[in-house]
Every structure is written in C-alpha cells, then in structure tokens.
Amino acid sequence: MTNDRRVLVHQNKQALAGSVAARFLTNMVDVLQEQDEAHVVLTGGSVGIAVLAAINESAARDTIDWSRVNFWWGDERWLPRADPERNELQARAALLDHIDVPRANIHAFGASDDPAETGTDPLEAAAARYTAELLAHAPEGAQYPRLDVTFLGVGPDGHVASLFPHRAGIREREASVITVRDSPKPPADRLSLTRPVLNSSDRVWLVLAGSDKASALGLALAGASRDEVPAAGIKGRHRTMFFVDSDAAAQVPENLIAPA
C-alpha cells in the first residue's frame, strides 16, 4: 500500500469526533480479522478525548473484542496518578473504564507519585520502564510493537505528543521514549514517544479542531520543516489522515481535501 496524506473536513467538533469514532471501530474490526491483537496509541486533548467518548457512545462499541486490543499513549504529563490532567485518567473516564479490556492491555506511562527507585531520577526511570514495556511487546528484533493506529493531536505551535518546535525531542532517532523538561506548555515535565515510534504506525490519525490550529496545519501540509512544525515530520507507514473541523481547515490546500 502506498502512503498518502489525506485531509477530511467536518462541519464541527461533534461531527468530527463521531466520524473518527465510527472509522476507528470499522478499522479495528478489519485489523482483528487479520491478526491476533491490535496496538493503538492514544492522545489527550479535548478532541482526542471527545473521540474516545464517541467510541464509548457508539452502538458498535461492543462489536470489538477489546481483550485483543492494547492501548498505549503518545505522551503523558508528569503528574500524580489521580490528577485529572493526566491523559491516562481522561482516557479511562471517556472509554477505557467502560469496555472489557484487561488491565494488562492498558500501558500507561508512569506517574510522579509512583514509588521512587532509590538513587535514580524518577522521570528518567519512568522513561526507561516505558521503553522496556514497549520492547516486551515488540516483534523479535524490534524495539516497539507493530502499531496499528496512532492518534495524535496538533498544538497551535504544531507540536505532536510532547515533541515541540526547535527542541531536541523532534530530532531524536534512537530512543523510543524521551523525558521532556521545561516544556513550553505546562506542566514542565513530561514523557513522550519519539518520532520513529510514531512513524512506525501503520496508520497515523491526526485529529484537530479550532481556528487556532489552522496555521500549524497549513504549514505542516505545505512542507514546513519538522523542526519548525513537528506535525510536518509525522507520517504513518501506510496512511496519514488529518481529521479536522472547518475552522482548522482554513489554510489547507483544496487539492488535499477529501470528501468527509
């Protein structure tokens, strides 16, 4: 299958979330017909969580054998486990707590109040643990699982996961997981998958809404450098989809817009 980038424009955020949810459920049916298990990377943000809530509300939700789906995260805020700002907690409330997915299939990043390892930097230790967990679920010879769908949001500055413009993280080529300190977006400390992991996904789905995202999306699609606009450096192995609302699509070239 050849890789391509497509932009699907929806009337508003609600329509966007519902459409992505329906497409995801259909995709999971297809994936689980072809292989024993699936690996999905989740994102935070208001639109990413709205998609999870729409999946939960769908009549087709329970057509999926969730015991065969593994969930990972693209990044996480370094906060206490029960902090409502954690991507994990928001995803659990929106979807994961409502489906029959085994606890072992939910691969959450570490939290700032997890038991500390003596003599180690807690944030670095959490990055090492997530790296090891990815490796444990990887095919022989690989560093991370075969990812079927990776959800990503895009910030107004073009960042994805916690890979920010003009920071070393977007240029990382070796590590699977990085620590982020002094983030330009609070909280200051974070954990993030790297670009090689994100780009290893069969399908990357970038989901964004709002006029404040229009410039970043337009630049990403116009060929900006990944250092300037990290979203420009993200491309799935088979397909890269931008699911956007009409406000976010204001600067998208007409030739890239596909029927929703």
CATH number at residue 238: 3.40.50.1360
**Look-up of token digits 């208001």:** 46
pLDDT at 163: 98
pLDDT at 1: 38
pLDDT at 259: 62
Q: Is the pLDDT of residue 62 over 80?
A: yes
Residue type at position 54 = A
pLDDT at 257: 81
- What band does 3 get if pLDDT is binned at 50, 70 and 90? low
Residue 258 lies in a domain: no
Residue 109 lies in a domain: yes
pLDDT at 142: 96
C-alpha 39: how far from chain center = 12
pLDDT at 176: 98
Q: Tell me what the mean pLDDT of segment 58-66 comes to.
A: 97
- What band does 2 get if pLDDT is binned at 50, 70 and 90? very low
Residue 260 lies in a domain: no
Owning domain of residue 50: 5-253
Reduced to 3 states (helix: H, G, I; strand: E, B; else coil), residue 37 is coil
Residue 259 lies in a domain: no
Question: Could you check whether the bond before residue 102 is cis, i.e. omega within 30 degrees of 0?
Answer: no
Q: Where are the beta strands (DSSP E) in 38-158?
A: 38-42, 69-73, 75-77, 149-152
Q: Tell me what the mean pLDDT of segment 179-203 comes to.
A: 97
pLDDT at 253: 80
Which range, of 83-92, 189-198, 247-256, averages the lowest pLDDT? 247-256
Q: Tell me what the mean pLDDT of segment 221-247 comes to.
A: 95
- What are the b/e assignments for 85-118, b being 16+ CB within 10 Å? ebbbbbbbebbbebeebeeebbbbbbbbeeeeee
Q: What percent of the chain has pLDDT over 90?
A: 92
- Contact between 144 and 176 (Cβ < 8 Å): yes
Question: How many structural domains does the chain have?
Answer: 1
Q: Is the pLDDT of residue 60 over 50?
A: yes
pLDDT digits (tens, 9 = 90+) for 93-150: 999 999 999 999 999 999 999 998 777 899 999 999 999 999 999 999 999 999 999 9
Residue 244 lies in a domain: yes
Residue 167 lies in a domain: yes
Residue 240 lies in a domain: yes
Per the prediction, the chain carries an average pLDDT of 95
pLDDT at 5: 81
- What band does 260 get if pLDDT is binned at 50, 70 and 90? low
Rg of the chain taking only CA atoms, in angstroms: 17
Query: Would you state the structure tokens that stand for residue 53, as one six-digit string?
Result: 């809530």
Which stretches within the chain are classed as H helix?
13-34, 45-57, 87-94, 122-136, 195-198, 214-221
Residue 119 lies in a domain: yes
Determine how many CB atoms are found less than 10 A away from the CB of residue 15: 15
- What band does 27 get if pLDDT is binned at 50, 70 and 90? very high
